[in-house]
Structure 1
Amino acid sequence: MLSYMKIAWKYIREYKKRSIAMILSIALSVFLVVTIGSLSESTRVLQINDAKKDSGLQHVRYDGVNMEQVNKIKEYENVKKVANSFYYDGWNHESGLTVNILGAEKNILYMESNKMKVGRFPTKSNEIAIEEWVLNRLRIPHELNQTIKISLAENGEKKFKLVGIIENNLDKQSVGNLEAYVAFNDDNLVGREEHIYSFVEFKDGLNYRNEARKLGKQIGVKDEKRIVLNRGLLAAMGELNAIDWDLVKKSLFLMVVGGMVIYSIYNISVLKRVQEYGMMRAIGSTKKQIIYVILSELFIVYIIGVLLGILLGVFFTNLFKGSTMSSGLFTEIDYKLDIVVISRFAIGLAMLTSFGSILLSAIRGAILVNRVSPVEAINRSTQDSNIKFKERESFIEKVLTIPKKVSYKNLRRNKKTIIFTIVSMAVGCTLFMVQTFKTELWTRDWKYRNSIDKSQMYEFRLNVNEGRPMKEGYTTEQIDKISKLPQVQDLSFKQVLYSKLKINKKILNGIYGKSYIKFMNSENGFLKDLGDFSFEGVTKDEMIIRNTILGLSDRDLKSLNKGLKEGQIDIDQMKNELVAVVHIPKVNEKGLYFDHTGKSKFESALNLKVGDKITVTIPKEGYDKGIDTARLLAEHDKSQYIDQEFTIIGITDVLPDKDGFHLGTDLAPYLFISGNMFKELSGIDKYRLVRVDMKDNYTEGDYKILKEEVQKMSEIIPGTLLEDRVEWLKEAEKSDITYDLLKNSISIILIFISGLSIYNNINYSLMSRIREHGIMKAIGLTKKQFRKMIGFEGLMYGVISSIFSCIIAFLVEVGIFIYYAYVRWSPLLLKEFFIDWKSFLIVIAINLSLGYIATIGPRRQVDKIEITDAIRAIE
């Protein structure tokens, strides 16, 4: 076997250019699969980590257990870690904010993927630990061992010593979930012994769902509702362990592209050395031995290419560490790649697909060599006898000069070569154009959506707490004051009203509507603490459901008009008449607004159309009295409500803005009316949603000043939610850059791989006709004419490849547009097809350049050969 390897190595060294081209083709294909697969697996690992941060490391939570059951859980053999907690009390801060105080074991921080920043976790009854951002929100200095007076909702005022400051939990911070921890001990547990929450993480490699039920049965938890699976984490872990079919498809695609290049290059290489193989067989080598030489050569090329590709993939993947991957590339969420995982599956898949492509080339090469007899191989017999000439000229030939006419005939004669060349180039170019089109398609739609309400991209957001009376909000004077700050570029402000809709059951959209009402009334839909989602009406055909009304300014109404699915907004009409625009949630047949499989069909829960009447029902005196809004809406007594009928003049699938609390959930219908009608309906002229846009090119000093002013504004109304999106917007911008870099790298590499095939095909096609070129020079073809003829032939390859690539890309782009605009469950809002001329022009330039460049080598080589030598050459 060693002798075959030596011969194969000599062939590799003899045909360096072609060997390097094959190695590069394999290496780049492997590189792409390893890079894409590793980045995909990295984001999926980060998705698990994100699920752990969001919902905890526990696989299951057991609600309402006692200490005896807790001890049994700790003794269970398959348990890795346990953390127990209970609700201690509510802290009513003087700012109006409510902090949930939890009694917990230290392991609770582990379950939340968090840790202490300074100090320690509480162990005594009068000790407390608080997150850093919560201290900032409450204006409490970051000083350990200070005594804090806390007003408890159930146990009056009590003093606690601050013994620990916990690192910020960004998920809790983003939604304003204020929490603090006290010790899990007998004193604090008094009266709560039967209300412990036990968070359990099982050992690796188990069926966690089965283990959760098995342990629940063992400790005596019979009610399934008290066994709360961490579905977000389990779903993410299931996706990690599942086969990445998207990567498999990409790998097969790359195998086809890389395989075509290897196939093309190696077959040309075999044709060039047919004489050598013939001599080997003439002196006694068997067909089997020739095949061993071919396999040995390709095996060496394969090993070098695969190793180089893996090393490049590992190196390139690590370059992305610390960057943010954009939405839509591997997941629907942006993830910062703090962890980089090199995917073993991707490496194995890359090796397998590359082996498949090179094996096919070896088989083809072996068949080609062994089909020719030793005598024919040694003599390198010409195929001139098989060439057929047509005497009748086509229209194109009539207008061409003699040299160009010869080039044109050669193109028609070498149909297989030209087809192979065109297909090779079209693959990479089409992918580049299609990806560019998809990116531009989503970018245009994203910009259009943002133009409906630009405030979605503003840095700060204030949302008055749902617990505050509806009449509370920010006045025009308060809003004007912050708008005059030099750090502020723009402000957006909206009125909010929690209300109810009276509907006829007939407008429920079949199974979608019925399932929607059922889901919203379940524990997973609308929070039971806030009352029911739907109520029975006066008649059997009537139903009352929760909804939210937003009062919009003229500017916001004008923007909303862009997002209408049906109807048209007349601002004067909206300001003076009882008309509204509605947004109805879309759900699947189970009444759910989400589907992890992506296979569900989504429809509007209610059958409403432009011109229909819709009745809003609001409390007669409730808002004026300023009582608890949640309690006010939890029940429905007809005598306490008044009705107001609106005519629908528009329906939108886009929710331009929403209230961020449970009472204002976007799972319920939204009504948009003018500010004038809002005041007339509710008697409220204040604003509960305020967004602040910081000026462009702001400094860190500008940010700190504006953040302080916005926080002061939030403290005017106790309990107001404050969102700071500055860091999030920065990461989103970085993720777009990373996405573009990776996407364009994939396209460029594919074009490069295809380019290797094209260059070799054209190069060989020209070099294999040395005799023909010699004869033409002998009968008077000048050097200048010869160069033009060769250049014209190369450009013709480029022109035909460009036309083919552009036609295929255009057809694919039309299909993509139709799917995303009209078929997909969440369609494009901007349904305008376009042609991205830049990508088409780039592809045309690349094809023409490759075609011309491929002729330079053969042209120079033929120029160097004497006419008599060229005529004697037999190819």
Structure 2
Amino acid sequence: MKSYTDLTGKYLKGQKKRSMLTILGIILSVTLFTSIGTIGMSYWDKSVRQTMQDFGDYHVSFNGISGEAIPKVKNNAAVKSAGVISREGYAVLRETKEKEKKEDPFAAPYRYLNVKGYNANAMNMLQSQLDSGRYPENSNEIILSSSSLSYFLKKPKLGETITLNLGIRKVASTGEDKKINGLGDYGWDLDEAFQAQSQREYTVVGFMKPSSKENWSSGYIFPAITFNDNKSIDNYKNYFIYVKMKSLKNIKEKTEALMSSLQLSNVEQGSAMQLDRDNFIENVRIEYNNELLKLYGKSIYEGVNNSLILTFAAVIAIIMICTIAMIYNIFHISVLERISQFGMLRCIGATPAQIRKIVMQEATLISLIGIPIGILTGTLFMKVLFYNISLLTLGFLNDMRMVISLPILISAGLLGLLSVYLSAIGPAKQAARVYPLEALKNAGSSKVENITKVKKSLFVKKLFGVVGQFASRNLQRNKKRFRITAFSMIISIILFIVFSGLVDFMQQITQLSGAQYSYSLSYDGPSSRIDDTVYRDVSKLDAVQQAYKFYSNQVDAIIPKDKINPIYYGFHKDRYIVAEGEGYRTDNNFLVSYGDNGLDALQSKLTAGKIDKEKMNQENGVIVLQKIMMMTEEGKRLILDQTQFKVGDHIKIRTIDGNHNEYQTVTVVGIVDQDLLSKKYSTGQDLSFITTPKVYSKIMGSDTYSRIFILANPDISNHPITDYLKSLTDKNAGFNYHDRVAEVAQAKNDAKTFSILLYGFIGVIVLIAFLNIVNTVSTNLILRTKEFATLKAIGMTQKEVRKMIILEGVFYGLFAAVIGIILGTTLNYGIQVLFASALDADWVFPWYSIGIAFAGSMITTIVATIGPMYRLNKVSIVDALRSEN
């Protein structure tokens, strides 16, 4: 032996069982770090790809910008690349047939192709989903929507050439150009004509999949995309430009500076909508791709960014604390076992620095063994998990791929190494402080216990007798040892409750938000009217449990000043600027009705008032929905009342149209916090007045409804419903239905997948916790072999010693369970609060997790005492009193 530090390897070899347990703990910890990092990176990768598919691979878009501004945007110092889209024109596929017009009096006069030219950057940023073929590469190539093929005189095939007469749509009666709104080009008029301007030949190179969010215009206006490098810009033409910034830092400030350089003012701003959704855009509009920016931590809502970062940091911190606690206990126990050995080394000249070096060298050696194995097992664990996921029919995670990231693997290794060194520092210092003579006399402890007074528990004595009191006093006698053991158990319980809470949280956010229904049928044609015969047909279906007619229209309302919530007013003063009478005129209000049966169902949701339909018809009675959930500029989520109306209040409302009809007075007969078909608060910034169909008709001057909400009978097949709804859409393109049943099923599948992932982590955590608790409790009992032998020597029976040991384990479990449950539940709630700014989910008290944690704690501590009891039974009293263990 050349130096004292050469003893490190000899000890690790001599104590193989203890060394293997320590290495196993490190392996499991690094496995957990690697697994969480890998699944996090893989999920992030999937989320980015899905978001790019849904919203586009860009950061900011300028919609409807003039051609002369295009070079200024592309050449701006903050812009990395820009995708430009131009309108090439419309082409008529064919006129609408007379038969179709009879079936649908509001059918568009023509079936159109809406041709747009994408440059290379736009093609990459806004890739359409192809059924077959490829994207166009020059101006003579085109891709068509597969939905449009049946309207060509001769159905085109891949590689064939088609001739299109491109032109503009005009108002037939006046000859004016028809105003087009937005990239989606939404809507048509019956008074419409087409004027051809040029003829173009294109080679068909691909077919696009139909939009997943088709509406009434989708049956008449079909998208088509060609290539246009847009190098030749028409200054008097409007374009769409999609921009990637060089840096995402302060993206809003950079965009506003860009707008200022273009001398744009009063520009609409907002978040981007999904690519296949139509929306009205009348003027220039700036849209931030917030869904994508959020994933990079650069959303324009700073609170959202901080929420996600802090949540991730909190989860990693909790795991590190657990890991450090576990490894610390292992090292601490190792030091306690070898106090006499360190004392001998001190007696023969070893310095405190050399003792510290021995312990830290042990930490290094076992890290070099455990960390690489942990990284490997973590990667293999993820491969197995992803293989099992690939066997399931998933929705969002269907094409989720495993991303092995070198920075993640390195980070997992460094976090593991940091955890080991932080764990070893305390025991190393303790070993260095050993006094040689005391260490030789007091094996298993570096200092003789100084006991002044131990509290007696009459309750424990009455419940468990003298043996129970012995067990209770033993825990109090060595508080440091008790705290170390209890701390290990508490950390394990905290980690279990926190991760179980994450499972519940993920299950919530994968659930669909919004209205809760099975199907909705809407008519979005120009008449916006559903005939009562359709409602009666739907209601008669055996598979339909309930159907609600949905009447809705925007109204002006005068909100008295004393009825405006001051808190809401502080955030949205701009909504109350038009003074009228004793209040403010607002237009963000809706008069709605779910039919008479809808009012019956709404009865259970009333927070004030009552529903009397006859009285409502007589008094123009309304039920006010005024509670909303809103996001502040800082990204903080608030739930509050917009207004403070009460039962008996009167409100003046009128229809919104060019004639400005006189106000009519409605009476508040009830208050609800949530809509009829919702389990959450409204996220819209509007005020809803729910009433009867008769009152709606009286105020609006129309009994038109354009939507039916359908609740399906869960015990009967839904096929009759879907068959009927499909037959309607086939007959009339104005009809459209939404199958929420399929969406809910897919959301449940996604929730199931998230549960599999997180429960995999919980399994590792439970294993770490079990090994930690068993190791800590059992070793502490073994270190007290001489103490138990003494108790036997003075008359305590083997049965009583066994009972005392079990009770000690039970007391450990009870104490740790209570503290761990309190802290774990608090942290569970704290993480949900951090998430709240970015994701909408409610905190649910974790009763189920608490129950499992409590039972697991008790069972584990009892199991931990079995091994030491077996060992103690085999040791004779004389041998135990002579031993130094």
Interval of TM-score (by shorter of Structure 1 and Structure 2): 0.7 to 0.9
1:85 aligns with 2:86: yes
Q: Which of residues 366, 387, 403 in structure 1 aligns to 2:428?
A: 366
Q: Which of residues 587, 591, 599 in structure 1 aligns to 2:636?
A: 599
For residue 385 of structure 1, report the CA deviation from its aligned partner: 5.9
Q: Which of residues 547, 550, 554 in structure 2 aligns to 1:495?
A: 550
Match of 1:256 in 2: 321
For residue 322 of structure 1, report the CA deviation from its aligned partner: 9.3
For residue 126 of structure 1, report the CA deviation from its aligned partner: 10
CA 1:425–1:767: 2 relative to 1, 3 Å: same
Match of 2:673 in 1: 653
Match of 2:294 in 1: 236
1:11-410 matches, cutoff 5 A: 11-62=11-62, 79-80=80-81, 82-86=83-87, 88-89=89-90, 96=107, 101-105=114-118, 107=120, 108-119=122-133, 129-132=143-146, 153-154=169-170, 156=194, 163=204, 165-168=206-209, 172-173=213-214, 179-181=222-224, 183=226, 194-201=237-244, 225=267, 228=286, 230-232=288-290, 235-236=293-294, 238-239=296-297, 244-318=309-383, 338-342=400-404, 347=409, 350-380=412-442, 386-388=449-451, 394-396=457-459, 398-399=461-462, 400-410=464-474
Deviations 1:785-810 (A, max 9, x none): 44333333323322333344455567
CA 1:321–1:479: 2 relative to 1, 3 Å: farther
- Percent of counterpart pairs with the same letter? 24
1:645-724 matches, cutoff 5 A: 645-656=665-676, 666-682=684-700, 684-685=702-703, 687-692=705-710, 707=722, 709-714=724-729, 718-724=733-739
CA 1:769–1:138: 2 relative to 1, 3 Å: farther
Match of 1:865 in 2: 875
Match of 1:479 in 2: 535
Report the Cα distance in structure 2 between the residues aligned to 1:574 and 1:137, rounded to whole angstroms: 50
Report the Cα distance in structure 2 between the residues aligned to 1:221 and 1:441, rounded to whole angstroms: 46
Report the Cα distance in structure 2 between the residues aligned to 1:9 and 1:421, rounded to whole angstroms: 27
Report the Cα distance in structure 1 between the residues aligned to 2:379 and 2:773, rounded to whole angstroms: 29
SS state at 1:153 partner:
strand
Give the stretch that moved more between structures: 343-352 or 205-214.
Answer: 205-214
Deviations 1:807-856 (A, max 9, x none): 55677789999x89xx9999999x9x9782x4444233212211211111
Q: Which of residues 581, 585, 598 in structure 2 aligns to 1:556?
A: 598
Give the TM-score of the pair, scaled to structure 2. Answer: 0.76
CA 1:272–1:392: 2 relative to 1, 3 Å: closer
Match of 1:768 in 2: 783
Deviations 1:523-549 (A, max 9, x none): xxxxxxxxxxx9786x59552525332
Could you tell me which runs of 5 or more consecutive residues in structure 2 were left unpaired when the two chains were aligned: 171-192, 268-283, 300-304
For residue 115 of structure 1, report the CA deviation from its aligned partner: 4.8
1:856 aligns with 2:856: no
SS state at 2:241 partner:
strand
For residue 263 of structure 1, report the CA deviation from its aligned partner: 1.6
Report the Cα distance in structure 2 between the residues aligned to 1:859 and 1:309, rounded to whole angstroms: 33
For residue 767 of structure 1, report the CA deviation from its aligned partner: 1.3
Task: Kindly indicate whether the alpha-carbon contact (under 8 Å) linking 1:106 and 1:121 is maintained by their aligned counterparts in 2.
Answer: no
SS state at 2:240 partner:
strand
Match of 1:328 in 2: none
CA 1:505–1:352: 2 relative to 1, 3 Å: farther
For residue 426 of structure 1, report the CA deviation from its aligned partner: 2.5
For residue 613 of structure 1, report the CA deviation from its aligned partner: 1.2
Report the Cα distance in structure 2 between the residues aligned to 1:665 and 1:869, rounded to whole angstroms: 74
For residue 272 of structure 1, report the CA deviation from its aligned partner: 1.2
1:570-649 matches, cutoff 5 A: 570=612, 573-574=615-616, 577-584=619-626, 586=628, 593-595=630-632, 597-599=634-636, 601=638, 603-618=640-655, 633=656, 635-638=657-660, 641-649=661-669
Report the Cα distance in structure 1 between the residues aligned to 2:336 and 2:443, rounded to whole angstroms: 12
Deviations 1:391-444 (A, max 9, x none): 996524654545444333322212222233233222332454466578779989
Report the Cα distance in structure 2 between the residues aligned to 1:267 and 1:123, rounded to whole angstroms: 68
For residue 269 of structure 1, report the CA deviation from its aligned partner: 0.8
Deviations 1:500-556 (A, max 9, x none): 133046244458448647379xxxxxxxxxxxxx9786x595525253322223443
Match of 1:518 in 2: 574
SS state at 1:239 partner:
coil
Report the Cα distance in structure 1 between the residues aligned to 2:137 and 2:404, rounded to whole angstroms: 42
For residue 456 of structure 1, report the CA deviation from its aligned partner: 2.0
1:740 aligns with 2:777: no
Match of 2:475 in 1: 411
Q: Which of residues 760, 770, 790 in structure 2 aligns to 1:755?
A: 770
Task: Kindly indicate whether the alpha-carbon contact (under 8 Å) linking 1:428 and 1:747 is maintained by their aligned counterparts in 2.
Answer: no
Report the Cα distance in structure 1 between the residues aligned to 2:469 and 2:295, rounded to whole angstroms: 64
Task: Kindly indicate whether the alpha-carbon contact (under 8 Å) linking 2:58 and 2:289 is maintained by their aligned counterparts in 1.
Answer: no
Task: Kindly indicate whether the alpha-carbon contact (under 8 Å) linking 2:523 and 2:706 is maintained by their aligned counterparts in 1.
Answer: yes
Task: Kindly indicate whether the alpha-carbon contact (under 8 Å) linking 2:91 and 2:164 is maintained by their aligned counterparts in 1.
Answer: no
The number of equivalent residue pairs is 807
Give the TM-score of the pair, scaled to structure 1. Answer: 0.77
Match of 1:627 in 2: none
CA 1:182–1:192: 2 relative to 1, 3 Å: farther
Report the Cα distance in structure 1 between the residues aligned to 2:715 and 2:795, rounded to whole angstroms: 69
Report the Cα distance in structure 2 between the residues aligned to 1:763 and 1:479, rounded to whole angstroms: 71
Task: Kindly indicate whether the alpha-carbon contact (under 8 Å) linking 2:591 and 2:691 is maintained by their aligned counterparts in 1.
Answer: yes
SS state at 1:463 partner:
strand
1:413-562 matches, cutoff 5 A: 413-433=477-497, 456-458=516-518, 460-465=519-524, 468-469=526-527, 472-475=529-532, 477-483=533-539, 488-504=543-559, 506=561, 507-510=563-566, 512-513=568-569, 516=572, 518=574, 543-562=585-604
SS state at 2:777 partner:
helix
Q: Quick one: which amino acid aligns to residue 237 of structure 2?
A: E
SS state at 1:456 partner:
coil
Report the RMSD for the aligned CA atoms in angstroms.
5.0
CA 1:265–1:431: 2 relative to 1, 3 Å: closer
Deviations 1:340-363 (A, max 9, x none): 445666556544544444323322
Report the Cα distance in structure 2 between the residues aligned to 1:606 and 1:722, rounded to whole angstroms: 34
Task: Kindly indicate whether the alpha-carbon contact (under 8 Å) linking 2:538 and 2:544 is maintained by their aligned counterparts in 1.
Answer: no
Q: Quick one: which amino acid aligns to residue 274 of structure 1?
A: I
Match of 1:329 in 2: none
For residue 71 of structure 1, report the CA deviation from its aligned partner: 7.0
Report the Cα distance in structure 1 between the residues aligned to 2:571 and 2:586, rounded to whole angstroms: 16
1:795 aligns with 2:817: no
CA 1:548–1:179: 2 relative to 1, 3 Å: farther
Q: Quick one: which amino acid aligns to residue 516 of structure 2?
A: Q
CA 1:312–1:248: 2 relative to 1, 3 Å: farther
Match of 1:623 in 2: none
Task: Kindly indicate whether the alpha-carbon contact (under 8 Å) linking 2:591 and 2:690 is maintained by their aligned counterparts in 1.
Answer: yes
Task: Kindly indicate whether the alpha-carbon contact (under 8 Å) linking 2:622 and 2:668 is maintained by their aligned counterparts in 1.
Answer: yes
Q: Quick one: which amino acid aligns to residue 13 of structure 2?
A: R
1:845 aligns with 2:855: yes
Task: Kindly indicate whether the alpha-carbon contact (under 8 Å) linking 1:55 and 1:232 is maintained by their aligned counterparts in 2.
Answer: no
SS state at 1:181 partner:
strand
For residue 485 of structure 1, report the CA deviation from its aligned partner: 5.3
Report the Cα distance in structure 2 between the residues aligned to 1:723 and 1:279, rounded to whole angstroms: 80
